[in-house]
Amino acid sequence: MSRFTVEVRVTPRPGLLDPEGKAVQHALGSLGYEGVVSTRVGKLIVVEMEADGEKEARARAEEMCRKLLANPVTQDFRIRVSAQAEGVDER
Amino acid sequence: MKIAVITFPGSNCDHDCYRALKLLDGVTPEFRWHRDTSLGDVAAVILPGGFSYGDYLRAGAIARFSPIMDAVVEFAEAGGPVVGICNGFQVLCEAGLLPGALVRNESLRFQSHPVHIRVETTRTPFTSEYEEGQVLRIPIAHGEGNYHAEPEVLAELEGTDRIVFRYSTADGKLTPEANPNGSAHHIAGIVNEHRNVLGMMPHPERAVEELLGPTDGRGLFQSLRNHLTAGATT
């Protein structure tokens, strides 16, 4: 077993109205930032997990996304898996 | 007969639903806690409004995995009538008992005020006491009530008479101003394919007492009671 850090990035699906993103874009505009074409707001979920390998960690994360972490009707997800260094200092 | 009202941590309309059911002759409302695993001997189930689990992750996403929800899904799949109001609607969508999803209001604002909704179909156990085209005045209170679904799903809902309520003006017109949250096709409530599961964003349980304003919500609970009574005698 090794330990992995799994980052799940959940974003509103393209084409879906994202009022939060729109509000942020508007605020950036009011601050004088020009050229901001689009702003979308999503979520970053960081899961630390024990797994036999990177492949297993990814497969489990995908299952978690389909079941709970993302709603396929409105959201897309992307998963990044990285192995934690051996002998992690757990103090 | 007994009707269950499910309380999740963060539900805040469970007592209002209980009260609305209590006004019906022959109905005994009973609370069920989210950790219960059985509904017991009930004839219908109400999932009330509120902010179950603080709306963490997405509204309804965590409540959908509450222990009681397995029993609710089983009950619904066996044809038992289930009503999800506001957060309850969000839970039903997350649970896959109803299609689509409820996303952030287009206005970005939490909307808490009475609205008009037009009854689109009386062919449900929940709307038989109303008339088609009748306009009801019922409060809404939500930040995420913007109904969203794929175009094929919307076409299916339209084609199979499954849109139960639409936001409208007082005289039943579907103007953009009458849509308080940006919902597709002005959708305020839908039923599933078998017509026994209803999800709606407006709060009929908040419109049953003359002292507090309009009583247009009563018809929904009366329809349900009549449906259950008719079923019991035949």
pLDDT of the residue at B199: 98
Note the pLDDT tens digit of each residue in A23-36: 999 999 999 999 99
pLDDT at position A85: 78
The token duo for B210 is 């003359």
A:16-35 residues touching chain B, CB 8 A cutoff: 16-20, 22-23
Average pLDDT over residues B63-81: 97
Given CB atoms, is A69 within the 8 Å cutoff of chain B?
yes
Average pLDDT, chain B: 96
pLDDT digit string, tens, across residues B77-113: 999 999 999 999 999 999 999 999 999 999 889 999 9
Give the pLDDT mean for A55-66.
96
Residue B23: half-sphere exposure toward Cβ, Cα within 13 Å = 19
Considering only B27-36, B130-139, B225-234, which range has the smallest mean pLDDT?
B225-234
User: What integer is the mean pLDDT of B154-165?
Assistant: 98
In CATH, which of 3.40.50.970, 3.30.1280.10, 3.65.10.10, 3.40.50.720 is domain A2-83?
Answer: 3.30.1280.10
Exposed, middle or buried: residue A23 (CB in 10 Å: 0-12, 13-18, 19+)?
A: middle
Q: Which of B55, B58, B69, B183 to mutate: most A Cβ within 10 Å? A: B58
Model confidence pLDDT, tens digit, residues A7-18: 999 999 988 888
* Distance from the first to the final alpha carbon of chain A: 20
Residue B171 has pLDDT above 90, yes or no: yes
| Exposure string for B25-61, b = 16+ CB within 10 A, e = fewer | eebebeebebebeebeebbbbbbbbbbbbebebbbbb
pLDDT, position B108:
86
Cβ of A65: how many Cβ atoms within 10 Å? Answer: 21
Mean pLDDT (chain A) is 92
Q: Which two tokens stand for residue B15?
A: 């007592």
State ipTM.
0.83
Region B3-32 average pLDDT: 97
User: Which of B65, B100, B108 minimises the CB distance to A73?
Assistant: B100
Confidence of residue B233 (pLDDT cuts 50, 70, 90): low
Tokens read off for B166: 């639409």
Residues of A in contact with B99 (CB under 8 A): 73
Residues 6 or more apart from B39 whose CB is under 8 A from it?
Answer: B4, B32, B45, B68, B71, B72, B75
Separation between Cα atoms, residue B136 and residue B36, nearest integer Å: 35
Provide the pLDDT for residue A21.
Answer: 92
pLDDT over threshold 90, residue B48: yes
Domains and CATH numbers, chain B: 2-233 (3.40.50.880)
- B146 close contact with A: CB closer than 8 A: yes
Note the Cα A44 to chain centre separation in Å: 4
Asked if B24 contacts B228 with a C-beta cutoff of 8 angstroms, the reply is no
User: Would the CB atoms of B61 and A20 count as touching at under 8 Å?
Assistant: no
For the segment B126-139, the average pLDDT, to the nearest whole number, is 98
pLDDT band, very low/low/confident/very high, at A88 (cuts 50, 70, 90): low
Mean pLDDT (whole number) for B156-181 = 98
CA angle B119, B121, B123 (to 5 degrees): 140
**Measured distance CA(B43)–CA(B224) in Å, rounded:** 10
Q: Round to whole Å and give the CA distance between B81 and B88.
A: 14
Give the pLDDT score at B234: 46
pLDDT at A90 over 90: no
The answer to whether A73 faces chain B, any CB pair under 8 Å, is yes
How many other C-beta atoms are found inside a 10 Å radius of the C-beta of residue A77?
A: 20
What Rg value do the Cα atoms of chain B yield, rounded?
16
Per DSSP (E only), the strands in chain B are: 2-7, 28-33, 44-47, 82-85, 101-103, 111-119, 135-142, 146-148, 163-168, 187-191, 197-200
- Nearest by CB to A71, which of B58, B62, B150? B58
Q: Count of A–B CB contacts within 8 Å?
A: 37
